């Protein structure tokens, strides 16, 4: 087999049972990423989705594409001791030559899978949103007063939410409104 020795599994002489591996050989030009995602996130991922590869040690974000979402999950204990259901997602590099110059077998990377994208989206930080009954709401600032607005949101992640109705571009909104803030209360902009 052509390839490069990736690992030497035996480091000293001894009796070797038949069939026991001695070396791991691989083709560094055929790298792939195996990312374990929470199963609740993996259900949104599909083959062909774009992937951003970050935190690999270089300054640039590398690009990848989801090849496969494995059909079965597994249990993994998080660093906080919480049992989590995970699913392996296999990612291929869009530019394998660039990746193999920088990354090797078993390296650590972080991936972000693009499950939805759209141009010209009105969005707000999720720290502005709160539930009001069964609807989403936020506060708009008008003439120095907080005005309660019921809104309709689309896509969201942990940081931002897409606004479908209820807010216009350039509206000033209240970030992290306290529970005590009510419609019509006077507000002032905090110095940064």
Residue range 123-141: mean pLDDT, rounded: 96
- Whether 77 and 40 map to the same domain: the answer is yes
pLDDT at 74: 94
- Tell me what pLDDT residue 131 has: 95
pLDDT score recorded for residue 139: 97
| Residue range(s) defining the domain that contains residue 67 | 29-113
- Among candidate residues 83, 81, 102, 84, the one with its CA nearest the CA of residue 93: 102
For residue 60, pLDDT over 90 is answered with no
pLDDT tier, 30 (very low <50, low <70, confident <90, very high otherwise): confident
Same domain membership, residue 84 and residue 44: yes
Position 7 scores a pLDDT of 82
**Rounded to whole angstroms, how far apart are CA atoms 122 and 164?**
8
The CATH number that applies at residue 139 is 2.40.420.20
Write the DSSP assignment of 92-104 as a string of letters.
EESSHHHHHHH--
Question: Where are the extended beta strands (E) located within the chain?
Answer: 4-8, 23-26, 32-38, 50-54, 62-77, 83-93, 110-113, 123-125, 130-132, 135-142, 145-156, 160-165
Q: Evaluate if residue 32 carries a pLDDT over 80.
A: yes
Determine, yes or no, domain membership for 4: no
Residue at which a domain ends, from 113, 144, 178: 113
191 and 123 in a common domain: yes
Q: What are phi and psi of 157, to 5 degrees?
A: -130, -165
The total number of structural domains in the chain stands at 2
Report pLDDT digits (tens) over 66-109.
999 999 999 999 889 999 999 999 999 998 777 777 788 888 99
Do 108 and 48 reside in the same domain of the chain? yes
Based on the domain organization, do 123 and 105 belong to the same domain?
A: no
| Domain end (from 113, 130, 152) | 113
Q: Show the DSSP H helices in the chain as ranges.
A: 39-42, 96-102
Please give the pLDDT value at position 9.
84
Q: What is residue 192's predicted lDDT score, i.e. its pLDDT? A: 66
The verdict on 108 and 44 lying in the same domain is: yes
CA–CA distance, 16 with 8 (Å, rounded to integer):
14
Residue 11 in domain: no
Residue 7 located in a structural domain: no
What's the chain's Rg over C-alpha atoms?
A: 24
Same domain, residue pair 77 and 147: no
Domain-located, residue 129 = yes
Residues 89 and 39 in one domain: yes
Q: Are residues 45 and 102 in the same domain?
A: yes
Whether residues 75 and 127 fall in one domain: no
At which of 84, 113, 142 does a domain end? 113
């Amino acid at each position: 087999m052509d390839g490069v020795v990736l690992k030497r599994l035996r480091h000293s002489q001894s009796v070797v049972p038949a069939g026991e591996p001695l070396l791991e050989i691989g083709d560094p030009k055929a790298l792939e990423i195996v990312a374990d995602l929470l199963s609740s996130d993996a259900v949104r991922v599909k083959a062909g989705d774009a992937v951003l590869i970050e935190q690999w040690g270089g300054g640039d974000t590398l690009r990848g594409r989801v090849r496969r979402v494995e059909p079965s999950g597994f249990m993994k204990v998080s660093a906080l001791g919480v049992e989590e259901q995970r699913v392996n997602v296999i990612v291929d590099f869009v530019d394998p030559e660039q990746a193999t110059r920088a990354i090797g077998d078993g390296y650590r990377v972080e991936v972000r899978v693009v499950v939805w994208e759209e141009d010209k989206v009105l969005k707000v930080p999720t720290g502005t949103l709160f539930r009001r009954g069964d609807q989403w709401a936020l506060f708009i600032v008008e003439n120095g007063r907080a005005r309660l607005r019921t809104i309709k949101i689309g896509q969201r992640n942990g940081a931002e939410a897409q606004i479908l109705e209820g807010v216009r571009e350039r509206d000033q909104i209240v970030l992290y409104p306290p529970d005590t803030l009510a419609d019509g209360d006077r507000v002032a902009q905090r110095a940064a």
